[in-house]
Each structure stands twice: as structure tokens, then as C-alpha cells.
Amino acid sequence: MRVALKLHMPEPEDLPVHYAHWVQAAVYGLFSPAVADVVHEEGFVAESRRYRLFAFSRLMGRYQLNRAARSLRFLGPVVLVVSSPLSALVHDFANAILRTETLRIGPVRFILDSVTFAEPKVNGSRIVVRTLSPVTAYSTLLKADGSRYTAYFDPHERQFADLVARNLTRKHMALFGCEGPSPAGFLWRPRGRVQLHVVRYQDIVVKGYSGVFEVQGPPELLQIGLDAGWGAKNAQGFGLTELLAG
């Protein structure tokens, strides 16, 4: 399930280009204490990894970019989408913003105009999706001297699809407590131009990709990707897509 918030600024204000950590804080701030404790403090565990099982989009709307100040100013309505396979989580978040009718992203206050719910459904083993926030896939590797480094992969590389597929199987385990269908044969194919995004999340630099992608795999896993996000760092503002076909 997902909810789309249509928002506006009562007064024009600037946001930094890298604002995802502020959006994450705003989302967590609207969860009820019980939900926030489960999602943030405990998470959903699979193979010693914790998953938050929600994702959110970038702020979508027309904006003016100030390259020198590395800031942007929205020039009209803004849409934020929050998605999760846990409908109770989505409803908890939506109910909170319906009560407050405002969303504070860092120092900037947005006013709520409307709330729209949707439940996009996967109907087969092949879908086409468009990113609402960049998708990231990476591995932590060792250098010859034993130090660690992060290797990010491009959607054209086979490792990207393999990492996304393994991530989906772990999310299935975290969500349902059992192994899901085999991801053998999972495919992730760019359709047209792919854009690289180098995003600073607090003190961490993350590389992600946006575009339109064809994805093939077991429908059950595809549904998890659509709802919980694809790849890594979904609760930090990565991996949310909209369903175009399938």
C-alpha cells in the first residue's frame, strides 16, 4: 500500500539539494510511538539484517535550482509518496498527517492539500516500473590491505540484478518469516536512459540510479519490491518506484 501526499509551502523557502534525511525524520516523526518503536528500534530481521519495510519518494514538483547555494525552491505543489507492504504502517502515517495537516521537513513547513491511497498490484512475472527515488545496489569489499570499501553497481551490470534479487528474498523472510520463491532468472533491464544520482545522506555518499526499468521474477517478490522498495537503503529515500505495466 502507498499514500501520496499533495503539499504546498505557505511561504517560498529553500531546501538543500540533499534533503532525504529530513524527509526520513519527518516520516518517523509522524509514526505513533508503538509503530516507530517497531519500525525504527526493532525493524524486521532476516539473516542478521534489519529492514524497515517502507520507502519514500523524492519530493516531486516543479522547482528552481540554485547551484551555487546547492539548494532548491519548489514553485508549486509538491507530492511525497510513502509505501510499505504493511498497510497498518501506511495508515498510521496518514492518520497522523491528517490530524496535523502539516509536514515539517527540516526547517521548512508544508501544508497538506490532499491524501490519496493506492494499492498497485503485480499481475505477472514481468513488470515495468519508473523510479520515484533512485535505486541503489552495492557490496562492501576488501582491499588488498584489508580495509573495506563500498562498490556500487550500475543497472546494466549483472551484479546489480543479483543484489536486488537477494535483497528481495531477505525482505520476504523478514516480512513473512519464511523463504520465498527462488529468484533464479531474476532480471533488471533498463529501458532507455538511466541517470546516476550521487546523493549525500548526512555524512554518507550514496550512488543510485533513476529511469524506467523492466523487471522479471516471481510475482511475490516483485510485489515486495514495489511495496517495500528495490535494493538497499529504502528507509533513507531510495528504491521506490511506480508501476507502469504488469
Q: Which of 8, 18, 19, 28 is catalytic?
A: 28
Residue 163 identity: L
Strand 108-118 and strand 2-8: the pairing is antiparallel
**187, 157 Cβ separation under 8 angstroms:** no
The amino acid sitting at 16 is P
| Cβ atoms of 229 and 55 closer than 8 Å | yes
The residue annotated as part of the active site, out of 8, 18, 19, 40, is 40
Could you give the maximum distance between any two Cα atoms of the chain, in Å? 55
Is 201 a known active-site residue? Answer: no
User: CA-CA distance, 133 to 7, in Å (whole number)?
Assistant: 18
Does 40 qualify as catalytic in the annotation? yes
Burial level of 134, CB count in 10 A (0-12/13-18/19+)?
A: buried
The residues annotated as belonging to the active site are: 28, 40
